Amino acid sequence: MDQVMWTQRPLPTVPDVARAVWRRELCTPVDLTVSRNQLQATVRTAELRDRAPVDVDELLLVYEELASNGMRHGRSPVAVCVVAASGGWLVDVTDAAVESPPVPAVDRDPVDGGLGLHLVARLCRTHGWTVDDGRKHVWACVTAA
């Protein structure tokens, strides 16, 4: 698999008209499943569908990959913020493991997992990570449909 770099770079600037449409703190694997279903219901509302049309399955996949990585490899508290803007959606996962950048798996059998960062990088041209206010942010932008 091609080496995919997750470059340290600041969160993208979000236009003033954009707003966080969804925030959750994740503590357990059950929280991840429940929150994914809640995000799906939120994104499918008419207001958001019209303002920032998106492939909902793609957005949910990016959310689930980044959030599950935060829970597995980060340090509590893990939180997710999803922002809708006319150009697409920003998924920002934060945790307290500021010393541990996201590291894509290399030379791993896909059966063993660990390919989420590669997948997100292929789906989202704009992605990265940064440390801000004592929190690590791992983020990706899902382009509007």
Per-residue pLDDT, 46: 66
Cβ pair 120, 138 in contact under 8 A:
no
Q: What is the pLDDT of residues 36-54, one digit of tens each?
A: 999 999 888 867 777 777 8
Per-residue pLDDT, 1: 44
CATH code of the domain in which 85 resides: 3.30.565.10
Domain range holding 28?
19-143
Rounded to whole angstroms, the Cα distance separating 48 from 57 reads 15
pTM, full prediction: 0.89
Q: What is the pLDDT of residues 107-128, one digit of tens each?
A: 777 666 678 999 999 999 899 9
**12 within some domain:** no
| Phi, psi of 42, deg, nearest 5 | -65, -45
Per-residue pLDDT, 134: 94
Residue 87's SS3 state is: coil
